[in-house]
Structure formats: structure tokens, C-alpha cells
Amino acid sequence: MKVLENPQDVGKLCQSWRNDGLQIGFIATMGALHEGHLSLLRRAVAENDRTCASIFVNPLQFDDPDDLRSYPVNMEGDLELCKKHGCDMAFSGTMESFFPEADNPHMVKRIDPGGCASDLEGVYRPGFFDGVVTIVDRLFRIVGNCKAYFGEKDFQQTLVVRHLSHQLKDSNIEIEIVVCPTVRAKSGLALSSRNQRLETCDIIAANQIYRALKKTQRAWQCSVRDRKSLSRTLRITLEHPLISVDYAEVRNPDDWSSMANQMDAAIGLVAARVGGVRLIDSLRLDQPACKTLHLT
């Protein structure tokens, strides 16, 4: 596996692969890799001729300096895992190398993430999505035409990167977004790099998030189609002394509307703080549970 630090080298290698007629799979990560990331990597390796992964903790998407400082880093272990899972190239970089046109990271021109970004995460983490889109746009421009793999756990993010991929067509960059199922611990807790910061009592509380999503899914399976009552079920089931909910809502994943009450497709979305750690999760209510991958 090649390990590159310079975006120009990354671009050159990807272009040489394409010149040889090879299809590229790409995974953008912030490192501290776990089975969730690896499920994306395995799928990319299976579906493409060459696979590359970025490992970069993007400061543009953190509104809280403490959160950025305490974000787990394990570059050596991450590179080992990438190699073991068949990745052909992993790359990292610095703000300066990704954005050479900016005199300093504060001067980076942020990209508008579009309408889907304005609510939920957009409200609770102002600037988050424009930080995500600004780095993902740069990574897509470096890698070039590819299939890019993202996790459904961060569902709103998948809408935002899809919007970006449509915009990139104007620059003749073709990115196919592939959304992959959420990988969960046996308890149902969605795997996240942030889980490392949870104490045992927090993990027990955090398990309530998946229980609440499942209970809401069961309501859907019992033919409840009313958005407000599905959202109410989600919120009530989430009530727990150690959980502080930012939002818990049911939306139509196809039109992202928060207005229509009768739903023909639905996803439950949760962001909550447990023991000072912010966790997000989502679950399609209208799809069979086998879409979810559980670790055994």
C-alpha cells in the first residue's frame, strides 16, 4: 500500500490509475478507524479496481476546540488496518497542503453546503457542514472521478455530499456516492470513533439510542405513518437521566421534508450527548432490520 502526504502525488497516482482504465473507490475518514470505516473499505475494495482512503482530522468541521483536541488519533494503527483490508493507497495531509491558496486555515474559503444542511446538525453545529463540504470538495478534486463510500449513520451528511457531487459535474468531476449500512456493536450502539471516550455507564445509557430507533421502527411496522407521533415515540423512548438530546426526529429521507405529516418513507435521526460525548445515529424505519450490520 502506498502512503502519500502530498495531494499532488495523490492526484497523479489516481490519474495514472484512470489512464490505465481502472475504476477508483474512495473513502474519506478522520481516522481512529473501526469496523464502520472498514465496512466501507471492504465494499470499496470489492467494487473497484483500486481503492484509496484519506485520513485527516478536518479542523474546519469542529466548532468546539476541546472536541478537536480530544478527537482520537491513531495514524500507525489506521495505516495497518488500511493495508490489511486491501487499500491500495492511504493519504493524509495538512491544512496548508490541502488549501495552499489560503494564507492560514482561517482564510480558507468555505463552500455553501446547500439546503439540506440548514437544519438538524446544521442548527446544533453551526459551520459543521460547510466545514465538511469544504474538505470533501477538496478531496474529491484531488482524487478525481471515483465511487465514494459514506456511512448511513451520518445520513444528513450523505445528502450534503450528494448535493456536492451534483455541483462537481459542472467541473467535469464525476463522483458516484455509495451509501453503506451502519455497523453496530452487539448492543446496537452505532460504532463511532467517539465511543472510545465513553465510560461504562455512558455506554449503557448510549445503548438507549438504538432501542429508541428500533421502537420507532416497530411503530412504523405496525402501520403508524404519522410523522409527529413517530417523532414523539422516538423522543419519549430516548428519555434517560444520562442522555441529553439535541434532536430526535423522523423525516422523509427522499425529500427531507419536515412539513408533511403522512409519510411513505421514513428515517429516524438522533443526536444526543452522553457523558460529554456527542453521538449521532439514524435508522431507516421503512426497511427490514437485516439492512443493519451487527458485530457478533
- Burial annotation 235-267 (CB, 10 A radius, 16+ → b, else e): bebbebeebebbbbbbbbbeeeeeeeeebeebb
What is the closest distance, in whole angstroms, from the C-beta atom of residue 245 to ligand AMP in the complex? 20
Residue 281 binds to ligand AMP (criterion: CB under 6 A): no
Q: Residue 209 belongs to what H/E stretch?
A: helix 200-221
Residue 282 binds to ligand AMP (criterion: CB under 6 A): no
Ranges within 29-48 binding ligand AMP (CB under 6 A): 29-30, 36-37, 39-40
What is the closest distance, in whole angstroms, from the C-beta atom of residue 81 to ligand AMP in the complex? 12
Stretch that binds ligand AMP, among 80-88, 135-143, 146-154, 223-231 (CB under 6 A): 146-154
Residue 151 binds to ligand AMP (criterion: CB under 6 A): yes
Locate 86 and state its grid cell. 486491501
**Catalytic residue from among 34, 37, 85, 163:** 37
Locate 20 and state its grid cell. 490505465
Phi, psi for residue 277 in degrees, rounded to 5:
-105, 130
Contact between 143 and 24 (Cβ < 8 Å): yes
In which residue are the cell numbers 408533511 written?
260
Stretch that binds ligand AMP, among 168-176, 180-188, 197-205, 209-217 (CB under 6 A): 180-188
Return the bridge partners of 281, or none.
270
Residue 150 binds to ligand AMP (criterion: CB under 6 A): yes
Cα gap 254→244, rounded to integer Å: 28
Select from 116, 164, 175, 191 the one that contacts ligand AMP (CB under 6 A).
Answer: 191
Size of the site for ligand AMP (CB under 6 A): 17
CA angle, 160 then 173 then 27, to 5°: 55
37 is catalytic: yes
What is the closest distance, in whole angstroms, from the C-beta atom of residue 169 to ligand AMP in the complex? 21
What is the closest distance, in whole angstroms, from the C-beta atom of residue 193 to ligand AMP in the complex? 6
Residue 213 binds to ligand AMP (criterion: CB under 6 A): no
Please state, as a whole number, how many other Cβ atoms lie within 10 Å of the Cβ of residue 146. 25
What is the closest distance, in whole angstroms, from the C-beta atom of residue 8 to ligand AMP in the complex? 24
Stretch that binds ligand AMP, among 105-113, 179-187, 220-228, 230-238 (CB under 6 A): 179-187
If the CB atoms of residues 30 and 271 are measured against ligand AMP, the closer one turns out to be 30
Cα gap 255→290, rounded to integer Å: 24
Residue 153 binds to ligand AMP (criterion: CB under 6 A): yes
If the CB atoms of residues 4 and 32 are measured against ligand AMP, the closer one turns out to be 32
CA atoms within 13 A of residue 17's CA, in its CB half-sphere: 22
Q: Residue 27 belongs to what H/E stretch?
A: strand 24-29
What is the closest distance, in whole angstroms, from the C-beta atom of residue 31 to ligand AMP in the complex? 6
CA atoms within 13 A of residue 287's CA, in its CB half-sphere: 14
Ranges within 39-98 binding ligand AMP (CB under 6 A): 39-40
DSSP string for residues in 34-53 = -HHHHHHHHHHHHH-SEEEE
Residues binding ligand AMP (CB under 6 A):
29-30, 36-37, 39-40, 150-151, 153-154, 180, 182-183, 190-193
Which residues are known to be catalytic? 37
